[in-house]
Structure 1
Amino acid sequence: MTRTNAIGRLRRIELLAVQLKQESHCTIKDLAAQHQVSARTIQRDLDLMREQGMQIDADRGRGGGVRLDGNWGVGRLNLGYAEAIDLLISIAVAEQMDSPMFLANLASVRRQLVASFSKDKRQRVESLKSRILIGVTASTYVQAGFVSPPERIVRALHQAFVDLEMLDITYQREDGQPSQRRIEPHFLLLKYPVWYVLAHDHLRDEPRSFRCDRILSAARAGTRFRLAAKDDFQNCFQDGGHLK
């Protein structure tokens, strides 16, 4: 087995352990489809998990399910790099919002996550954190029209933001009409609960702000851009907002 395949299998086993712990009924067929491997591969994974001491119960008969004993605790949390970055950034947002609830242990969690990164990756995380800004709470008028953006939009925007990559979007204007734009997502701004992307708009050739919940479609353009200064976007808001 190559090193890449071994790492992929270890990651799959970790995900299987969490899945079998959380879900009351899983079949080998369903697990194979979800993880895009054969049923025989899933069966070998389950055998290895049993050898490691995990109590995995299986129902007899055709279509029988498998589950992890409810009294067995899933072990250490093993995050991938992208997952750890997302968690660190979420912690940074919570800390910037100065909420007194549930913050007691966040500093400790952040230190442990940061310590797991190499020096160059720590610098990259710090750069990403500096590009996430907190503003004042959105007005009641804005909140009344807010809807959570679809996951596909969030994923495309997230990846373009992290990779400094241009994004082609269909944007719903204030008058309700769609508009095609190519944007450079330089910063993200949270005016709770509404997220905005502060971007260079190639259509207007100037910095603009876009409400994320008004982005109707998003596709990465495959072209990188150079990060601009935060001060370039100070004029994007004229409604009493501020950037930290």
Structure 2
Amino acid sequence: MGRTDSNGRLRRLELLAAQLKQNEHCTVQNLARQHGVSERTITRDLSLMREQGLPIDADRGRGGGVRLDRNWGVGRLNLSYPEAVDLLISIEVAEQMNSPMFLANLGSVRRQLVASFSPEKRSKVERLKSRILIGDTASTYVQTSMNAPPKRVVQAVHQAFIDQQTIEISYQREDREVSQRVIEPHFLLLNYPVWYVVAIDHLREAPRVFRCDRVQSALSTGSGFNLLPKSAFDTTLDGSNLSV
């Protein structure tokens, strides 16, 4: 078994443990379909997990389910690098918003996450954090007009921001006119609870700010771009120029 296969199995075992703890009823058939492997592979995974001391129960019969004792607690949490980055950035956003609730232990969590990164990855995370801006709370008018963006759009914008790649978006303005744009997502701005993409718009050949919930579709072009300093967007980031 190659290193990639071994890493894939370790990751699958972690996900299985979390899934079995959360769900009342899982079947080997369903688990195999969800993880894209054979039922035989899932059965071997479950046997290995039992050997490692996880209290996994199984019902007899073809339709029987498997579950992990809910009283069992995970002693450690293994996160992939993208998951750890997302969590660390979320902590930074929460701290920058100065919310007084649930912040007591965030400093400790942040230090542990940072310590888990290599120096190269720490530098990369610091650059990502510097590209997330926290502004004022959105006006009541903006909040009442806000809709949750589609998950696929959020994922595409998120990945393009991290990978520093241009994306082609379908964008609906306040007057409901829809246009196709190719943009460079240089910064993300949170005017709670509304997220904006601070970008270079290839259509206008100028800086523009786009409300994430008005992005109807997003597709990576696979083309990278060079980051510009925040000062290049200062005029655009003036509150009077933000899309409402």
TM bucket (normalised to shorter chain) is: over 0.9
The separation in 1 between residues aligned to 2:57 and 2:170, in whole angstroms, is 49
- When the two structures are aligned, how many residues end up with a matched partner? 242
Tell me the equivalent position of 1:139. 139
> When the two structures are superposed, what TM-score results if normalisation uses the length of structure 1?
0.97
The separation in 2 between residues aligned to 1:27 and 1:232, in whole angstroms, is 54
**Structure 2 residue 78 is the aligned partner of structure 1 residue 67:** no
SS of alignment partner, residue 157 of structure 2: helix
Shift of 1:69: 1.2
Conserved? CA contact 1:21–1:74, under 8 Å: no
Cα displacement string for residues 168-206 of structure 1 (whole angstroms, at most 9, x for unaligned residues): 000001210110000000000000000000000000000
Q: Which runs of 5+ in 2 are unaligned?
A: none
> When the two structures are superposed, what TM-score results if normalisation uses the length of structure 2?
0.97
Tell me the equivalent position of 2:25. 25
Shift of 1:240: 5.8
Q: Which runs of 5+ in 1 are unaligned?
A: none
The separation in 1 between residues aligned to 2:238 and 2:116, in whole angstroms, is 41
Shift of 1:75: 2.8
Shift of 1:103: 0.8
Letter in 2 for 1:143: Q
The separation in 2 between residues aligned to 1:2 and 1:239, in whole angstroms, is 53
- The farther-off stretch of 178-187 and 4-13 is 4-13
Cα displacement string for residues 63-103 of structure 1 (whole angstroms, at most 9, x for unaligned residues): 11000112211231001100000001001100110111111
**Structure 2 residue 3 is the aligned partner of structure 1 residue 12:** no
SS of alignment partner, residue 113 of structure 1: helix
Shift of 1:6: 1.1
Shift of 1:60: 0.9
The separation in 1 between residues aligned to 2:72 and 2:94, in whole angstroms, is 32
- The farther-off stretch of 74-83 and 31-40 is 74-83
Relative to 1, partners in 2 of residues 1:241 and 1:207: Cα closer, same or farther, differing over 3 Å?
A: closer
SS of alignment partner, residue 20 of structure 1: helix
Tell me the equivalent position of 1:54. 54
Shift of 1:237: 4.0
- The farther-off stretch of 56-65 and 230-239 is 230-239
Tell me the equivalent position of 1:160. 160
**Structure 2 residue 131 is the aligned partner of structure 1 residue 126:** no
**Structure 2 residue 226 is the aligned partner of structure 1 residue 226:** yes
Tell me the equivalent position of 1:117. 117
Q: What's the % identity of the aligned pairs?
A: 68
The separation in 1 between residues aligned to 2:241 and 2:77, in whole angstroms, is 38
SS of alignment partner, residue 197 of structure 1: strand
The separation in 2 between residues aligned to 1:189 and 1:152, in whole angstroms, is 19
Tell me the equivalent position of 1:86. 86
Tell me the equivalent position of 2:236. 236
The separation in 1 between residues aligned to 2:8 and 2:184, in whole angstroms, is 33
Relative to 1, partners in 2 of residues 1:153 and 1:227: Cα closer, same or farther, differing over 3 Å?
A: same
Shift of 1:23: 0.2
Letter in 2 for 1:145: S
Cα displacement string for residues 38-73 of structure 1 (whole angstroms, at most 9, x for unaligned residues): 000000000000101111111111211000112211
Tell me the equivalent position of 1:148. 148
Shift of 1:238: 4.2
